[in-house]
Structure 1
Amino acid sequence: MVESIEIRAIVGEEAVSREQVRAWESRRADAVLKKFAARMGRRGIAELMPDRALDELRGAPLDVRRSALTTLKTRLGHAGVYAMVGRELALSERMTRIGVAASRGRTKHAITRLEVPGFSVERFAAWFDNLTAANAETDMIDACPDHYLLRGLPDGRQEVVETTGGSPAVSRFLIDYAKTESLTIPIDPGYPIQIAGQALLDDGVVIGGVRHQFRDRDGTLEALLTVQFPASVPARLIRQHQWHLAVEFSNWMIAAAPVAATS
Structure 2
Amino acid sequence: MINPVNLRATIGAREVTRQEVLDWESRRADAVLAKFASRLGDLGIDELLPDHAEVRRAPLPTRRTALNTLKYGLGHAGMYAMLKREIAFSERMTRAGVAMSRGRVKFAATRLQVPGLSAQRFGEWFDNLVVINDEKTMNAACPDHYLLRGLGDGRQEVVETTGGAPAASRFLVDYQRTEAIEIPADPDYPIQIVGTAYLDDGLVIGGVRHQFRDTNGVLDAMMTVQFPAAVPARNIHQHQWHLACEFSNWLIASEPYAAA
Short-chain TM bin: over 0.9
Opposite residue 54 of structure 1, the aligned amino acid is H
**Aligned twin of 1:196:** 194
**Aligned twin of 2:132:** 134
**Aligned twin of 1:100:** 98
- Map 1:1-263 onto structure 2 (within 5 A): 4-5=3-4, 6-50=6-50, 53-262=51-260
Opposite residue 141 of structure 1, the aligned amino acid is N
Q: Deviations over 1:113-158 (max 9, x none)?
A: 0000111112211111111110000110000000000111122211
Q: CA deviation at 1:3?
A: 6.8
In 2: Cα distance, 1:29 partner to 1:91 partner: 22
In 1: Cα distance, 2:175 partner to 2:205 partner: 14
4+ long deviations beyond 4 Å: none
151-160 vs 28-37, which moves further:
151-160
Q: CA deviation at 1:36?
A: 0.3
In 1: Cα distance, 2:249 partner to 2:86 partner: 26
In 1: Cα distance, 2:192 partner to 2:13 partner: 22
Q: Deviations over 1:179-230 (max 9, x none)?
A: 1110110000000000001100000000000000000011100001000000
Q: CA deviation at 1:59?
A: 2.2
Query: What is the total number of aligned residue pairs between the two structures?
Result: 259
Q: 1:39 aligns to what SS in structure 2? A: helix
Q: CA deviation at 1:48?
A: 1.5
The alignment's C-alpha RMSD in Å is 1.2
In 1: Cα distance, 2:204 partner to 2:47 partner: 38
Q: CA deviation at 1:257?
A: 1.4
In 2: Cα distance, 1:129 partner to 1:208 partner: 19
In 1: Cα distance, 2:72 partner to 2:103 partner: 36
Q: CA deviation at 1:74?
A: 1.2
In 1: Cα distance, 2:259 partner to 2:180 partner: 34
In 2: Cα distance, 1:192 partner to 1:74 partner: 36
Segments of structure 2 that go 5 or more residues without pairing to the other structure are none
User: Does the 8 Å CA contact 2:2/2:116 hold for their aligned counterparts?
Assistant: no
In 1: Cα distance, 2:121 partner to 2:73 partner: 31
244-253 vs 37-46, which moves further:
37-46
In 1: Cα distance, 2:38 partner to 2:157 partner: 25
